[in-house]
Chain A
């Protein structure tokens, strides 16, 4: 495992280093699919330049990063390339580790279940062999490091990579079982962009499962732990926000960062659904549709938590995917984050009917994005509808990509790690036979 992983790391570093030094770096950092007004490097530099001029970076509408980012980059702006090179490895190593953790846990469970002969016959094909599971962390690492989306995001020096690193750290701490660190990191991730707020529920469910506390609203132990975790989370959030206030001495950053994320004033095209919708919106309905779209991101948390309460890791994946698709300024870096976790559920691939179609759609869209952008903006022979159509198709493909594993899990009661439901189904079958 160590040798292939090292080789993978070397290849990834080489690719990124080559691209950093080439002329493509500037081209990539201007692409709207890779950077958004929230995380473009050009805007970070602009914010720092404004700070040097003595003007608050938040007085204009060009800088939408949090004050801690200013603090970080104030010292590392000359070493920016190294910072951005390191963050994907962070994510990658962490996802590797979490996959291996997960794998160990699952393996143990499966071993016990096999020994107690609790799996019915037709569940066997869903079990994963140790050999398969051995390579999952490597596959996860490969999926993240060699994903063109990640490479583009890294070369463009988009702060999306840093946000991904924080989320990966959070997942790692959650799986390791450290509630304190998990709460703090979740607060940091929420502070960076509001949407990781929805990851509170799966993290909570994981800890409850780990500590063998049943999810029962009438039990006091449930409320005890929930309140503890919530306290850690909210407390860290307050502390971080307070720190930001003292950095620049004003609350200007709140409307500039969070107000910007929620009210979507900037209509720069990106790969998401928001920009054209609000460019063509009737003024009368603007507030209504902004509320609808933002609620859409947070809305799936409760139902998904109820249905997937026994599979918090899968729930985390679903939440991250939903955030990446429906957030207000998505970029390919966000897409790359949830794509990295797909190999962890590779045993479900056998049952995915449309995997070829979905991957073709995503590949075609990724290829067409720059072409139609050029035709609209530079050649002038196409118009905004062409780019918008590809945006729609891309999001459609993404939706199908994440719905399918969920479908597979629901339709096959013997889904992995689900020995309880598998047991149920075996009980069913035996009752029918008799």
Chain B
């Protein structure tokens, strides 16, 4: 009976789907990996790769059409089957990869958005498919890929050969387009993260927080889909989806001066677990260049060597699928610390900053460091402050090692408004191995509206302070003048052997001044003159008007009555 057979088949089917064995669903696996490479300039390069491998065929029609998705994102799978896509490569990049400073990236990408697609040779209308594909991808990635049209699409004949399997050599099925103006932001990152099997909840994707990722020199996220061989003989094929994210963190904007990198510093998160759906989850740190120059913690015994980009590199490996990687605290924070600072510390160093809040007053602090271990020496500090920051010299304090240090010579020339700036020169004795702080208060002036620069809220610059000193020298200097002395050592004349002349400039300051409203000159003149005119007018009225007692005129009835009375000759009413 057909009905019975159908029932039995159904039962087996259901049974099979429950266990996942008998029906033999397509096998898929997911791997995630993070490679951290310290760069020569002090920056750090992190490259995430998430690979989903699925043993299926999207380009099937009818019954064998793929409908059950597990690790592979459904949105992409449907796109592939609908448009008969053989290979899809899309990337969004912010910033420019500096090859000369950073070396070669693992996955290169141009700034902006780039999309290149190989269509299957069964497609009849490639252009139509391309147009619809770009619009659909635009929706998936929240990007304005709909700007891709025939005016910026090309069909390269030699470049961009398929990276996966594919015997398509006819470049009619290839389309390539870039949008260099495309800006990458959180809105593009979020749908990209959603395509991952674990989302951004577990595994390496936990590290992808947009505040840190976009605060970097270079950020690139990409999706690469291609068919690949599963083994050497290529007996079975599988679809590979790779999601890659490359980011380069700038040493200066995020490093804060110390040569130290950690996962927490880079991503403001640490790793707590691997993605449960991943068959492998690893972190690689490139330790080829400087094995002794920095130290890694936590330490790992696993090492791996790989030849990549024409170079044999050594990597320390951390396996996140092993529980002991996370340690006692169940959190994995990789730390790279550069060992030792062998740079010779300069003996004299100065810094300057503005303290205070608001636009009325402020304080200029100049900090001078004497790093000599046992010698004290005097320095001459010169400050030239513009006239619109009125200095109050009675608030000048000089402290060394939290004790008052009175300068032995002060020359102060106060400023004359709109003529000359303040000039302050002081001779201060710096105690050995100490920090001296010079503080002076100032008040900010309101200028005439024409005296402001076109961008008044940028602020006004105060020139650098100059610290001049004869610093005691560790090495005896030669006072002889010789003809073949190199130029770099003969700029400053050497007067004595035991010290050398040094001039240190501090940072310039940027100070904001209160601004009037620049759109108001006519209004202000009118309003102020109105108030003055009201005063003047009232005074004028009062001083020129005379007051007379006025008899009110009698009402009409009374006047009429008086008129009649006058005719009659009778006495009038009052």
Contact = CB atoms under 8 A, between A and B. Distances in A.
Contacts of A62: 390, 392, 414
B486 interface: no
B531 A50 contact: no
Contact of A265 (B357, B418, B538): B418
Q: Which 8 A-B pairs have the closest CB atoms?
A: A60-B414, A49-B394, A378-B358, A280-B521, A280-B524, A399-B535, A61-B417, A403-B538
Nearest to B539: A300
Nearest to B551: A432
B536 interface: yes
Main secondary structure of the interface of A (DSSP, over half): helix
Contacts of B447: 267, 279
A396 B542 CA distance: 17
B515 A384 contact: yes
Given A50-B414, A281-B521, A300-B539, 6 more contacts: A53-B393, A273-B532, A281-B525, A376-B359, A399-B531, A399-B535
Interface string A342-382: 00000000000000000000000000000000001110100
Interface in A270-299: 273, 275-283, 293, 296
A399 B528 contact: no
Contacts of B390: 61-62
Interface string B496-517: 0000000000000000001111
6 contacts: A48-B394, A50-B393, A61-B417, A267-B445, A267-B447, A277-B524
Interface stretch (A127-135, A137-145, A407-415): A407-415
A195 to B, nearest CB: 16
B355 interface: no
In this complex, which of A45, A277, A279, A383 has the most chain B Cβ atoms within 10 angstroms of its Cβ?
Answer: A279
Interface string B412-423: 111111100010
Interface in A396-434: 396, 399, 403, 406-407, 410-411, 413, 425, 428-429, 432
A46 B361 contact: no
A172 interface: no
Nearest to B549: A428
B445 A266 contact: yes
Contacts of A403: 535, 538-539, 542
A45 B394 contact: yes
A432 B360 CA distance: 66
A377 B514 contact: yes
Nearest to B530: A392
Nearest to A306: B543
Contacts of A273: 528, 531-532
Interface in B405-445: 410, 412-418, 422, 445
A385 B514 CA distance: 12
Nearest to B360: A377
B413 A30 contact: no
B527 interface: yes
B358 A377 contact: yes
B226 to A, nearest CB: 55
A395 interface: yes
Nearest to A406: B542
A281 B524 CA distance: 9
B376 interface: no
Contacts of B516: 276, 279-280, 384
B11 interface: no
A265 B417 contact: yes
Contacts of B402: none
A389 to B, nearest CB: 8
B450 A277 contact: no
Nearest to A325: B535
A396 B414 contact: no
Contact of A276 (B413, B524, B536, B539): B524
A287 to B, nearest CB: 14
Interface string B536-558: 10110011010101010000000
Nearest to B387: A61
A268 B390 CA distance: 12
A28 B535 CA distance: 30
A59 B447 CA distance: 20
A413 B547 CA distance: 8
A277 B542 contact: no
Given A61-B414, A296-B532, A429-B549, A281 B393 contact: no
A204 to B, nearest CB: 19
Interface string A53-90: 10100011110000000000000000000000000000
Contact of B520 (A32, A280, A406): A280
Interface in A17-59: 30, 32, 42, 45-46, 48-50, 53, 55, 59
Contacts, number: 142
B202 interface: no
Contacts of B520: 280, 385
A279 B412 CA distance: 29
A202 interface: no
A303 B525 contact: no
A325 B532 CA distance: 10
A385 B524 CA distance: 9
B449 A46 contact: no
B263 interface: no
Contacts of A59: 413-414, 416
Contacts of B524: 276-277, 279-280, 388
A218 interface: no
B448 interface: yes
A67 to B, nearest CB: 17
Nearest to A412: B547
A281 B394 CA distance: 34
A61 B415 contact: yes
Nearest to B522: A280
Nearest to A275: B446
A161 interface: no
A384 B392 CA distance: 25
Contacts of B393: 46, 49-50, 53
Contact of A277 (B515, B525, B534, B547): B525
A403 B531 CA distance: 13
Given A280-B520, A399-B531, A384 B549 contact: no
A251 to B, nearest CB: 16
A45 B549 CA distance: 60
Nearest to B524: A280
A428 B531 CA distance: 38
A333 interface: no
Given A49-B394, A60-B414, A307-B543, A283 B450 contact: yes
Interface string B338-374: 0000000000000000000111110000000000000
Contacts of A30: 360-361
Contact of B446 (A61, A277, A279, A383): A279
Contacts of A377: 358-360, 514
Contact of B542 (A42, A46, A267, A407): A407
B442 to A, nearest CB: 11
B278 to A, nearest CB: 50
B417 A266 contact: yes
A158 to B, nearest CB: 16
